[in-house]
């Protein structure tokens, strides 16, 4: 990994120089100072008044579903799910590989540098993500559908994959996904939690996504909500990343706060599938939960654009709370960056000395940023992700001037896969 | 105006050739046929499998406010309004000229070819729009704030401007704006309606935008809602374009339907200012109203992107109605195109022989369109407006391969204006 010296770049409103080596931000200085380390092994990039922000972190997605955009539009949830399952019966390792490649292509172009993935064929997803230069958090997905044979198979496979992961070099992270309380048996859930905690792995779970999930859980578990049920089993803690957490009682919120759970809001998926829209941001924040943002998979939302997710999250809060001051801009950016670093236990999401060098170089020389408004206001509310000019992930450029190496080839290969599988 | 021959372009799923002359679509043929009119005066453009759709119509905006993005974020409505007024005290003709230039630049880049404008200094807005090659509908804004002197001044100025507009060549349209029932006196409103109807002009009004507007109207006008009040005055008809129509009773909906009013939904503005989010799309459609989409001005929404507006409109309907089948894709496209043509009485919004040639050339060779989903699903839910490769307005290219002539110069001049006015 080389050394990069970003010159004349705005950082928190100050024209700065940023020096990166071995994937880490080594120093941040006022622009124009003398810099001693410049040598033949340092790439100097003049950023000409562009602005640096941390790479976005997509805290809940199913990356390979990028090849399932638009397969079920304007239809009811069950019909939608049938279509997804029909496709998932056909998919294989190659599909996951190219699906993840396409997902990474989109994530790079829209400014995401780390993604928390929840899908099958993890080794292929990992191969794709690392080839593209991104940082994947890859979960082994536990989903036994209450069949003991499947539980046993998954236990064996999970251990195998974990052992294989011991040989992974840096820049990818192994996690455990528990699909959801309705799709994983209680003994299997407990096994998975023990497995994760013994090894210090994060636990990624779908939680309280739909009203039906709440009702079914209460009927099955003596009136307990999904949050109460999980808490009664000792599942919840600061190592848990819970996707959705949309239907919550005051007691649920208190529990999620007390346990320091990371709650991931997936606004576009929730809107489009009519899961609900009253995400209890203020209440969860007040209770002490760590709140992040995700896009969910492309079959539901239908893209991986974190900037769109950020804007929509804030707009919906303002609307349903009837309060234009709800969810401040600084909070929105934090949810997409530093809160995610905290949730994953990684030194990402902040541009400061010692942090991993995940940097977006934003081009503000366009109409979106032409106003007396602040950079952040224009970024969140006016601009689109095409303002992301260049992307650095762990000290390496993965996009320069909106060019991602190999783009056309990736699209071509993905089209071939879709054709081959008759999708 | 020249002749253009678009070859090998998808139109409604068929690979087609489109011949345009004098601003009109003359013929649409299956691709690859022999074409006799090709001569030195015809520009042949091979579109290589790109897709043609009608240019979008932004049915409610305040274009020059493009220089006010982000001036009031995350603050309460009254504080926001104070900031806008503070800026509006300073603005002049030059501001409106460059503000509209910047707005047109954005509209072109995001696929809007016609916009229904509602702002001051109309002649400067017109100059800017025509220089950029777009089709503006320009309203003389009636807003007397119940002062008789102002009424008289506006009557004189309105007539002067209308007379000047008789010399306007084609591609811009004169309309009358009545700001709102709370800012225009009843006699002035009636004068404006008569003025418009005698001359066959469209009437553009803010209507039932906030709950407060409803309450205040009921208190002032014997319990009548704004819609009932306007109907009692004979204001409502198929020549009325009503922006927002967000707070409606069943009786209001019946009236708007019966009168054939064009209702313009401005979802992003409504969300961001916490005006409300339960736009009664199904009910208005059922009643027979003509429903279109708008972005509102950049001070509230904060951009002019119709594709974003289309996606958000559909998502919000699905969410608050708890029905993923709400607002079908075809309806969303119609609201942004052919319904607007109907509302304005212009032959736009459809790609068919005889229609004005307002055409977007969409590039589908990217990840957003890589899936088994339909073109429309991918356009609305996956893509962003940067998929708009080229734009033709009334038979003339205003953008080719995402390049708008003079872009950097426009940005530079607009920055100078902001500096000069100390904004």
Query: Does residue A124 form part of some domain?
Result: yes
Put simply, the answer to whether B370 touches A414 (Cβ < 8 Å) is yes
Contact A306, A56 (CB under 8 A): yes
Asked if B91 and B237 sit in the same domain, the reply is yes
pLDDT digits (tens, 9 = 90+) for B359-382: 999 999 999 999 888 999 999 999
Q: Report yes or no on whether pTM surpasses 0.90.
A: yes
CB-closest option in B270, B365, B415 to A411: B365
Which of chain A's residues have a Cβ under 8 Å away from the Cβ of B320? 277
Put simply, the answer to whether B367 touches A66 (Cβ < 8 Å) is yes
Q: Which two tokens stand for residue B122?
A: 């109309």
Query: Does residue B410 form part of some domain?
Result: no
Q: How many residues does chain A have?
A: 423
- Mean pLDDT, range A211-221, rounded to an integer: 97
pLDDT at residue number A33: 81
**Domain of B10: which CATH number?**
2.30.40.10
Asked if A374 and A250 sit in the same domain, the reply is no
pLDDT at residue number A404: 98
pLDDT digits (tens, 9 = 90+) for B314-356: 999 999 999 999 999 999 999 999 999 999 999 999 999 999 9
Put simply, the answer to whether A73 touches B377 (Cβ < 8 Å) is yes
ipTM: 0.96
Put simply, the answer to whether A367 touches B105 (Cβ < 8 Å) is yes
Asked if A322 and A376 sit in the same domain, the reply is no
State the residue for tokens 């992003």: B268
- Does pLDDT of A1 surpass 60? no
Query: Does residue A422 form part of some domain?
Result: no
pLDDT at residue number B34: 75
Q: How confident is the model at residue B74 (pLDDT cuts 50, 70, 90)?
A: confident
Q: How many residues does chain B have?
A: 423
Sign of CA dihedral A282, A283, A285, A286: positive
- Does pLDDT of A367 surpass 80? yes
To the nearest whole number, what is the mean pLDDT of chain B? 95
Q: Which two tokens stand for residue B62?
A: 């305040």
CB burial of A232-270 (b: ≥16 within 10 Å; e: otherwise) equals eeebbeebbbbbbbbbbeeebbbbbbebbbbbbbbbbbb
Q: Which two tokens stand for residue A29?
A: 């200085």
Q: What phi, psi does A304 have (nearest 5°)?
A: -115, 30
Mutation target among B371, B376, B387 for the A interface, most CBs of A within 10 A: B371
Nearest CA in chain A to B384: A384
Asked if B237 and B299 sit in the same domain, the reply is yes
Contact A191, A233 (CB under 8 A): no
Asked if A263 and A397 sit in the same domain, the reply is no
Asked if B131 and B233 sit in the same domain, the reply is yes
Q: How confident is the model at residue B39 (pLDDT cuts 50, 70, 90)?
A: confident
- Mean pLDDT, range A128-135, rounded to an integer: 97
State the residue for tokens 């940067």: B386
Dist. CA B308–CA A386, nearest whole Å: 14
Closest CA to A49 of A94, A97, A9: A9
Put simply, the answer to whether A70 touches B268 (Cβ < 8 Å) is no
Put simply, the answer to whether A67 touches B371 (Cβ < 8 Å) is yes
Query: Does residue A423 form part of some domain?
Result: no
- Mean pLDDT, range A262-271, rounded to an integer: 97
Closest approach of B84 to chain A, Cα-based (Å): 12
Helix axes A407-420, A93-109, angle to 10 degrees: 140
Dist. CA B362–CA A374, nearest whole Å: 32
Closest CA to B375 of B342, B343, B329: B329
Asked if B286 and B382 sit in the same domain, the reply is no
User: 3-state SS string over A195-255?
Assistant: HHHHHCCCEEEEECCCHHHHHHHHHHCCCCCHHHHHHHCCCCCCCEEEEECCCCCHHHHHH
Which of chain B's residues have a Cβ under 8 Å away from the Cβ of A318? 271-274
Q: Which helix (H) or strand (E) holds A29?
A: strand A24-30
CB burial of A23-42 (b: ≥16 within 10 Å; e: otherwise) equals bbbbebeebeeeeeeeeeeb
Asked if B35 and B154 sit in the same domain, the reply is no
Dist. CA B137–CA A327, nearest whole Å: 36
Asked if B132 and B263 sit in the same domain, the reply is yes
Dist. CA B63–CA B60, nearest whole Å: 9
pLDDT digits (tens, 9 = 90+) for B378-390: 999 999 999 999 9
Contact A356, A114 (CB under 8 A): no
Query: Does residue A418 form part of some domain?
Result: no
pLDDT at residue number A74: 87
To the nearest whole number, what is the mean pLDDT of chain A? 95
pLDDT digits (tens, 9 = 90+) for B237-282: 999 999 999 999 999 999 999 999 999 999 999 999 999 999 999 9
Nearest CA in chain B to A409: B366
Q: In the 8-state DSSP scheme, what is residue A380?
A: I
- Does pLDDT of B1 surpass 60? no
Dist. CA A402–CA A366, nearest whole Å: 15
Query: Does residue A187 form part of some domain?
Result: yes
Which of chain A's residues have a Cβ under 8 Å away from the Cβ of B366? 411
CB atoms within 10 A of CB A158: 18
Q: Residue A90's Cα: distance from chain center in Å?
A: 26
Q: Which helix (H) or strand (E) holds B331?
A: helix B329-336
Q: In the 8-state DSSP scheme, what is residue A403?
A: B
Closest approach of A268 to chain B, Cα-based (Å): 8
pLDDT at residue number B32: 84
Query: Does residue A416 form part of some domain?
Result: no
Residue numbers of the domain that contains A31 = 3-54+351-407
Q: Would you put residue B66 in left (φ > 0), alpha (ψ -120 to 50) or beta?
A: alpha
DSSP A86-123: HHHHH--HHHHHHHHHHHHHHHHHTTEEEEEE--S-HH
Asked if B151 and B250 sit in the same domain, the reply is yes
| Residue where a domain stops, chosen among B292, B319, B344 | B344
Asked if A156 and A33 sit in the same domain, the reply is no
CB burial of A100-132 (b: ≥16 within 10 Å; e: otherwise) equals bbbbbbbbbbbbbbbbbbbbbbbebbbbbbbeb
pLDDT digits (tens, 9 = 90+) for B187-200: 999 999 999 999 99
Q: What phi, psi does A95 have (nearest 5°)?
A: -60, -45
Query: Does residue B258 form part of some domain?
Result: yes
Q: Residue B30 pairs with which residues in a beta bridge?
A: B16
Asked if A100 and A154 sit in the same domain, the reply is yes
Q: Residue B125 pairs with which residues in a beta bridge?
A: none
**Domain of A334: which CATH number?**
3.20.20.140
Contact A207, A246 (CB under 8 A): no
Dist. CA A277–CA A267, nearest whole Å: 7
Contact B267, B303 (CB under 8 A): no
| Residue where a domain stops, chosen among A316, A344, A372 | A344
Say what percent of chain B tops pLDDT 70: 99
Put simply, the answer to whether A372 touches B418 (Cβ < 8 Å) is yes
Closest CA to B203 of B168, B233, B160: B233
The domain total for chain B is: 2
Nearest CA in chain B to A328: B74
Dist. CA B274–CA B78, nearest whole Å: 12
User: 3-state SS string over B384-404?
Assistant: CHHHEEEEEECCEEEEECCEC
Residue A80 or residue A175, greater confidence? A175
- Does pLDDT of A265 surpass 60? yes
Distances (CA, A) of B151 to A400, B139, B192, B243: 57, 16, 10, 23
């Amino acid at each position: 990994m080389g050394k990069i010296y970003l010159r004349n770049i705005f950082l928190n409103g100050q024209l700065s120089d940023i020096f990166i080596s071995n994937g880490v931000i080594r120093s941040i200085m006022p622009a124009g100072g003398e810099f001693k380390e410049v040598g033949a092994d340092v790439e100097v990039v003049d950023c000409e008044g562009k602005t640096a922000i941390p790479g976005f972190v997509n805290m809940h997605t199913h990356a390979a579903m990028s090849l399932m955009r638009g397969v079920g539009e304007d239809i009811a949830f069950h019909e939608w799910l049938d279509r997804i399952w029909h496709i998932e019966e056909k998919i294989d390792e190659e599909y996951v590989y190219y699906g993840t490649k396409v997902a990474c292509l989109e994530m790079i172009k829209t400014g995401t540098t780390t993604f928390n993935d929840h899908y099958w064929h993890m080794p292929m997803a990992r191969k794709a993500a690392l080839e593209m230069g991104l940082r994947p958090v890859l979960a082994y997905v536990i989903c036994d559908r209450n069949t003991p044979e499947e539980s046993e198979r998954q236990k064996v496979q999970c251990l195998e994959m974990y052992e294989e992961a011991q040989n992974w070099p840096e820049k990818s992270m192994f996690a455990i996904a528990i699909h959801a309380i309705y799709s994983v048996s209680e003994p299997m859930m407990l096994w998975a939690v023990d497995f994760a905690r013994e090894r210090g792995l994060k636990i990624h779970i779908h939680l309280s996504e739909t009203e039906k999930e709440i009702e079914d859980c209460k009927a099955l578990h003596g009136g307990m909500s999904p949050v109460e049920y999980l808490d009664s089993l000792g599942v919840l803690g600061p190592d848990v990343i819970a996707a959705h957490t949309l239907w919550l009682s005051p007691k649920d919120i208190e529990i999620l706060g007390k346990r320091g759970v990371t709650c991931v809001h997936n606004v576009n998926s929730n809107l489009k599938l009519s899961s609900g829209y009253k995400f209890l941001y203020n209440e969860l924040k007040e209770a002490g939960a760590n709140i992040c943002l995700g896009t969910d998979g492309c079959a539901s939302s239908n893209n991986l654009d974190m900037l769109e997710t950020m804007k929509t999250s804030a707009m919906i809060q303002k609307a349903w709370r009837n309060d234009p001051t709800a969810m401040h801009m600084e909070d929105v950016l934090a949810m997409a960056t530093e809160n995610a670093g905290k949730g994953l236990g990684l030194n990402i999401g902040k541009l400061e000395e010692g942090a991993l060098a995940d940097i977006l170089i934003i081009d503000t020389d366009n109409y979106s940023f032409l106003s007396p408004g602040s950079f952040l206001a224009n970024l969140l509310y006016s601009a689109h992700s095409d303002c992301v000019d260049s992307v650095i992930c762990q000290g390496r450029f993965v996009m320069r001037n909106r060019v991602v190496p190999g783009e056309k080839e990736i699209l071509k290969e993905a089209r071939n896969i879709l054709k081959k599988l008759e999708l």
